[in-house]
Structure 1
Amino acid sequence: MRFFVLKDSNDLGVAVADTLSIPVAPHEERDFKDGEHKARPLVSVRGKDVYVLQSLAGGGGASVNDKLCKLLFFIATCRDNGASRVTAVVPYLAYSRKDRQTKSRDPVTTRYVARLFEAVGTDRVITLEVHNLAAFQNAFRCQSVHLDVRKLFVPAIQRLAQGLPLTVFSPDSGGIKRAQLLKEALEAIQAEEIGFGFMEKRRSREVVSGDLFAGEVKGSAVIIVDDMISTGGTMLRTALACRQRGAKAVHVFATHGLFSPGCEALFESPAIDGVVVTDSVPSASRAGSEPTSRIEIVSVAPLISEAISRLHTNESIADLLGEEDGGFLSAAETKEL
């Protein structure tokens, strides 16, 4: 096995390698003054099972497009130099928001990005908590592996609840399935019923509307869960609605802490007791390291490293992909089982 980590995701990559007890394979990355760049392995990849980790969130001086292009070129050069198999480990997969046409002539970028990975010879893509699981699975013709993080969140939720009854809440109708799966994971461990609810949300030309509020939150600790936090407006809107209806505590959980400009309102609002995200993107770790931060970071390194280990040795990863719920198995993995 060769495990490469492109520099924009170095911290997470090193943590994954440490958990796997393998070294990060050396490589070169060079940026040219006109904005072009190159990356190449500094060790032989001929006949090797190659894994390349790069999270595709903008920041740290590089755009989403720069990171995507660099990852694709690196995968291609590994194939050109004889790698037997190349797996892209992409904790945050960019361009997943546009998974269908909602207006005339809309792009479907989920499908376009899949074609780019396939065009350079990617054998498999591993990612975490995509925006729309069905769209992700249908977009790729190569093997796709979706890792669900809800088990990582359960210990933090149990600790933060502080004995209050729990309600898992989705900030929009598109996230209902995600919230339901987290609710079921908590109920399986706690052996007690967990509340559930969601809000209506419609977005058009950056204007958010919708007032429907479904669920009972009075007197409970509300766990609002989503795949990502960008500006945090959706989460804050939901938190305020929960507080108005008597929630005793509100905690926000998301896999990807993108934290775009404007997210300050989320962290400063008294409606929210805290924010829990993973280290899937560097911006989350940077925000969580601030002395006054209200952000708690849960590492996804153990989850990713276990998936890589099992895939490399051709072992089943059903327990990482949702066990018996049937919603998180790739087509190839389902056939194996």
Structure 2
Amino acid sequence: ADQSRPLWLLAHSSMAQLAKEIADHSAATAAGQKSRLIVYKDSVSWDRFADGFPNIFIHNVQQMAGQDVIFLASLHEPSVIFEQVSLIHSLPRYFVRSLTLLLPYFPCGTMERVDREGQVATAMSVARLLSSTPLTRHGPCQLVVYDIHALQERFYFTDCVVPLLASAMSLLYPQLYDLRRAQPGLAIAFPDEGAFKRFHLSFSVPEHADDLITCLKVRDGDSRVIRVKEGSPAGRHVVIVDDLVQTGGTLIQCAAALKSLGASSVSAFVPHAVFPRESWRRFTDGQGLFEHFWITDSLPHARQIAQHPPFRLLSLAEPMVNLLTNSDALGCCDR
């Protein structure tokens, strides 16, 4: 592709702020890095008919023909999935050159398997919807998913799309650097073995080789409790790492277990702040269990949550720009 031609960025209305930040960061870095500019095109009207079904319109759609298009989606609730899938499926038919789908959060990720007959793996249903995206002139749609709950979910997508699993874990590294300078003795904890399997390699390189602590859920009578399986939190500032948080019960139990064994402070980093029914409020009750709680803007309501301590927002804009303009990662940028 002509390196002087910008990448067109479209976004769902719930992701408009993140889209603007992506475009701003691209504008600030494109010249120095000699990479393609990402331009946010606020050209989609997301309306509804009286019966509730989507009424979507793409303004100046003729200008989109031959462009490399990125769509920033947010499938954070069922009511917005159909309208976005409708738009995604229409873009190749308007002769876009290539299509890259940015999915900061993959919904239904925890329903990725059937443990007993009768369950429905809705993660596969969403993957099939996205996999039915028509081919573009450049080939299959490229699908970028951040911190998917289970790595095997990549195999739910068919050959009609090319999935790339990305991670927001790099956003945590500067925060860890600051913590080390303020207080020697840092440890990374995983609330269960699943989190350890997903993320421990991110902290195995020398510059991030902090002590690792693994917790696990064990049955205690009729309930399950969190206990430390490996590692010692005594005298350390421990940062709990996981991919998503729902009600927060597991993180609270994990923090309590770490402090009971002598952890001096506990913080957390969770890219996907799902928090149904505003369950995040249980972390703002003044008990001070967490010193810092870092989240990303992978979900629209994360910005509101981050206004309340101990939550702090780490934007996905920079890592997304780095990925989208990396010609080795996404072919739309170099061919």
TM over 0.5: yes
1:41 to 1:202, Cα distance in 2 relative to 1, 3 A: farther
- SS of structure 2 residue aligned to 1:20: helix
Among 134, 139, 153, the residue aligned to 2:172: 153
Distance 2:25 2:110 in 1: 31
Residue 48 of structure 2 corresponds to residue 11 of structure 1: no
**Is the CA contact 1:219–1:248 (under 8 Å) kept in the aligned structure 2?**
yes
CA-based RMSD of the aligned residues comes to 2.4
Match of 1:267 in 2: 284
Name stretches of at least 5 consecutive residues in structure 1 with no aligned partner.
Answer: 58-63, 319-331, 333-337
Match of 1:171 in 2: 191
Distance 2:57 2:100 in 1: 16
1:221 to 1:182, Cα distance in 2 relative to 1, 3 A: farther
Alignment of 1:193-212 (within 5 A): 193-201=209-217, 209-212=224-227
Q: CA deviation at 1:295?
A: 1.0
Among 258, 282, 286, the residue aligned to 2:300: 282
Match of 1:61 in 2: none
Match of 1:232 in 2: 248
CA offset digits 1:114-168 (Å, max 9, x no partner): 11011232612112111112x2321112211111122210111222342231111
Match of 1:97 in 2: 110
Match of 1:56 in 2: 75
Match of 1:46 in 2: 65
Distance 2:22 2:226 in 1: 42
Distance 2:94 2:218 in 1: 48
Q: CA deviation at 1:289?
A: 2.4
Residue 41 of structure 2 corresponds to residue 29 of structure 1: no
Which moved further from structure 2: 148-157 or 260-269? 260-269
Q: CA deviation at 1:247?
A: 0.3
Q: CA deviation at 1:202?
A: 6.9
Distance 1:306 1:274 in 2: 26
Distance 2:195 2:147 in 1: 11
Match of 1:20 in 2: 26
Q: CA deviation at 1:211?
A: 4.6
Instruction: Name the % identity.
Output: 21
Match of 1:140 in 2: 157
Distance 2:299 2:232 in 1: 33
Q: CA deviation at 1:276?
A: 0.6
Alignment coverage as a number of residue pairs: 301
Residue 126 of structure 2 corresponds to residue 113 of structure 1: yes
1:202 to 1:16, Cα distance in 2 relative to 1, 3 A: farther
Q: TM-score, normalised by structure 2?
A: 0.83
Match of 1:317 in 2: 329
- SS of structure 2 residue aligned to 1:39: strand
Distance 2:58 2:71 in 1: 10
- SS of structure 2 residue aligned to 1:263: helix
Distance 1:13 1:105 in 2: 40
Q: CA deviation at 1:46?
A: 1.9
Residue 99 of structure 2 corresponds to residue 86 of structure 1: yes
Q: CA deviation at 1:36?
A: 1.0
CA offset digits 1:214-266 (Å, max 9, x no partner): 12111111110011122211111100110111100100111112232323223
- SS of structure 1 residue aligned to 2:293: strand
- Return the letter of the residue paired with 1:7: S
